[in-house]
Each structure stands twice: as C-alpha cells, then as structure tokens.
Structure 1
C-alpha cells in the first residue's frame, strides 16, 4: 500500500477513536510533555495546511521545532472537540501530499501518544508499523536514541542497526525512537540500559 493510503487508514482509525472520547478524556495528558489529548490533535491539524502556510509558521517561529509544534497545537485552541475531529477527518491531506512518509511517522506516533495514556491499546497494521520503523520522524531526532544499537521487532519482520540489542514490539520501538520513555518497560536486551540513559 502507498504511504498516502496508509495515512488515510491511520487517520481514519484515529478519528474513530476521537469521536468516542469523553470530554474528560480530551483533557487527559498525552505522552507529549505539556500537551493534553486535544493539544496533540491540534498539532495534527498541520496536515490541513498547504506548504506555503506551513512555511509561514516555520519562519514566524524561527525554525525551532518545539516552537513550531507548540504554535500549531495552540492555533486550534478555540475549537471544540467536535470541530477538531471534523477538521482532522475532512480537511487533512494537504501537507502530507508533499511529505507522506514524514506525516505517516508523525501520525502513528501521536496516535499512540493519545492511546497509551487513555489505556486504549490497538494492533497497528504491520505495513504501517514497518514504514514508521524504517523512517522515524526526523524532527524527533531519532539518531540520538538509536545510534550504536541494534533494534529487533518481535511482532513483525524488522531489524535495524548494529550493537547491543533492543528487542520488543514494533510499537514500543517506534515510541522509543521518538523519545518516549514509557516504551522502555516493553523492551528487553543488552541495549536497553543505554537506551534508558539516552531517554533520560
């Protein structure tokens, strides 16, 4: 399946989840420091922007990844939860036309940033999981966590890197690559102590 096809399916699964959340769940802290579930969804609305609009946000925030992400999350703070979901469902797909691999990696990880604190586990489609593991979001700077380690997924046929091994479910590896310490409890191997140190 194409990256755009995987994006469409991933987004549809997230929209289905969001439509069933209570107002309290929308206010739940996500895995992203300082962001509630609704803030994560606000950030994901970056895919409703075209390249020029996104570039304007980048320039306004001096190219800082953290400032850009926070600005995107806050730009929709006045929307209701229903409006957030409708925009994600019906208006997304503009920016991802130009960077589908990047947007898929971002979407899958943020989907889990929402699901894990809500205790809403799922099985990620193997093709999507392999795609994210093979191309982690570069704006999460995965190299600082993965360099010199070998990662092996135990639920799909995927491995990468060289060095002390880190083994576990592909979802947990993807989260660790994106800097989420919560994933460490699902991982085993000689490389885990070093990964834990890096995730700090």
Structure 2
C-alpha cells in the first residue's frame, strides 16, 4: 500500500505536469481562489513546498498570524518566476519536506490536491482523482483546525457517493469525495450543483 508521502509526491509531480502544458492565456485566467490567477495559485503552492517549521513559525510571528499577508509575501517573492520555472520548482520539490511533511505528508497532499483542482476546474481540465488521495484528504480536512473542515460542516452528515466514506451527524450532504473536500475547504459555491441531500441548503 502506498504511503501518504508517496501519494503526496505523485500529486505534486502531476501538478508539475499540468503546469508544463499551460498556455500564457491560461496562466492569466482566474482560479477558484478569489482574486488569484492560475499563476498566483501555482506560485503560492510552490512557496510552501519546503518551508521549514522554523521559517514558517517566524513568518507567522512576523505577520502576527495574518495568513493573507503571509500569502501575499509568498507571491511577491515569486514575481520574477515564469511558468516554466514554477513547474520546475514544483517537480524538484515533489518530496514533502519542512512544514509540508507534517502528519506523514498529509499537509503536502491536501495543499497540492486542492490547489490543483482550483486551477483545473476553472480551465475545464478535468481529471479522475485517485480515491486513495481523496480519502486521506477528507479525513485530514475533518481533523485539521487549519483546514477547518469540521467547522464548515458542523451539524451536517457528509456522504461520499463514489467511495465508502461518511462523517458527521445531521442532514445529509451527498456528493463525490472531491466535491465534499471542496466544501470542507471553503469552496462550497463551486460544487453546489454537484451535491444533493437535505443538508445542502444549510451549507455556508
């Protein structure tokens, strides 16, 4: 059975493959992340590839826990990188390291899987997600206070229709694992048409 680190490495490599083939117009298109282009999402992901715990902690103190300012600084540092360089850095950083290696590589996996979908969905470049990766991300998103999956779906029962996975208590929100993961990571509006059940109307 593949380890989480292996799954994260595969996700990052596939992310690099995606970036390799984007056109200039695609790089400039908006992503699912409000206010961010495709390039912004790629640059943000690359900025966190191997950031050490010490450096991340220092930056959190520097910006007083303001994630938006921290992310903006990461984007600023990547201003001079073109698409090919971002793809290369993604590929060379495919092995989870630093803060991304926390929880057996789960941080790296969920970060890259979600952000790759932020790009793919907006560009219409759909793919069939590996259910092993999605399952790991679903479980982690429910537990991680940083991701906030439990907070966003409190009082609801999530039911995956493409795998054996459920979580929570309350009215049902049913959909593919990917759609439920996007709900838990704050992207419910992007997948509302892919969900069904009495709990959908309660999603914020």
* Structure 2 unpaired stretches of 5+: none
Aligned mate of 1:184, from 173, 177, 192: 192
TM-score using structure 1 length: 0.92
Shift of 1:192: 0.2
Q: CA deviation at 1:143?
A: 2.8
Aligned residue pairs total: 196
Name the Cα RMSD after superposition. Answer: 1.4
When normalised by structure 2's length, the TM-score is 0.90
1:147 corresponds to 2:150: no
User: Aligned-pair distance for 1:3?
Assistant: 1.3
Q: Mean alpha-carbon deviation: is it higher for 10-19 or for 69-78?
A: 69-78
Shift of 1:185: 1.1
Cα distance, 1:62 vs. partner?
Answer: 1.2
Higher relative contact order (CA 8 A, sep 6+): 2
Instruction: Name structure 1 gaps, 5 residues minimum.
Output: none
Distance 1:110 1:120 in 2: 13
Partner of 2:127: helix, strand, or coil? Answer: coil
Equivalent residue number for residue 19 of structure 1: 20
> For the residues of structure 1 that align with 2:147 and 2:114, how far apart are their CA atoms?
10
Q: Where does 1:152-167 land on structure 2 (aligned, <5 Å)? A: 152-167=159-174
Q: For each residue in 1:32-84, what CA deviation from the matched residue of structure 2 results, as whole angstroms up to 9, or x when unmatched?
A: 11111111111112113222222232222111222222322332122111111
